[in-house]
Amino acid sequence: MSKKNASRGFTLVELLVTIGIVGILTVIGLPAMRDTLERNSVSGQVNTFIGALRFARSEAIKRGLTIKMCRAVGAESATTPACTTGGGNASPGWATGWIVFIDRNDNGTMDATDILLRAQEEMTSSGGILGGAGNVVFLFRPNGMLAASGASQFTFKSKSQDSAQERRVCVSTQGRARIAASATTSCTDTDV
């Protein structure tokens, strides 16, 4: 009676071919994966920003009070976070974070008597959230309208500063925000 030795496993050639194929697929797939991750990061930042705007607007309507949303550095860790003035149109802009609060004494700053509703930490994966020179604060009136006149626009940049990954958000005087068709679209109050 003869005994057959059944071999199992891969030969060295099969293993090298498999490793070569995996290497080629990795080289081809990594750039697409990087683009996808950047696109998703920018989309997440856009959604977080629009969510904060909608939250501030709904709180103004619900409470019948003026609600303020402003840029803030270190908002999540400060005992009494403060609004950051200027720099809304320079990188990193709004990516430093923001706060939404009830300004009880209407002095335009976050005081101990004010009520903090939400604080957004710095978006470290952002290449910047840039608005116009005057886009450093939103004041939502009790009717949901913004106190400022004219539409605002914000450009969300990727960490790599790839212009193909940029997104634009338009905010109307009615307090409504939308994502523009492209990052080069100009925002007017009639198209929001």
Share of the chain above pLDDT 90, in %: 28
Fold classification of 13-179 is minor pseudopilin epsh fold (3.55.40)
Q: What confidence score (pLDDT) does residue 23 get?
A: 93
With 0-12 / 13-18 / 19 or more C-beta atoms within 10 angstroms meaning exposed / middle / buried, residue 105 is exposed
Q: How far apart are CA 131 and CA 169, in angstroms?
A: 9
Instruction: Report yes or no: 138 and 56 within 8 Å, Cβ to Cβ.
Output: yes
Q: What confidence score (pLDDT) does residue 50 get?
A: 94
What strands lie across the sheet with 137-140, from one edge to the other? 115-120, 98-102, 67-71, 137-140
Q: How confident is the model at residue 10 (pLDDT cuts 50, 70, 90)?
A: confident
Give residue-wise pLDDT tens across range 33-82: 888 888 888 999 999 999 999 999 999 999 999 999 988 887 777 777 88
The residue to which tokens 């194929």 are assigned: 21
List Cβ neighbours of 90 (8 Å cut-off, separation of 6 or more).
Answer: 130
For the chain, what are the domain ranges?
A: 13-179
Closest by CA to 135, choosing from 43, 51, 53, is 53
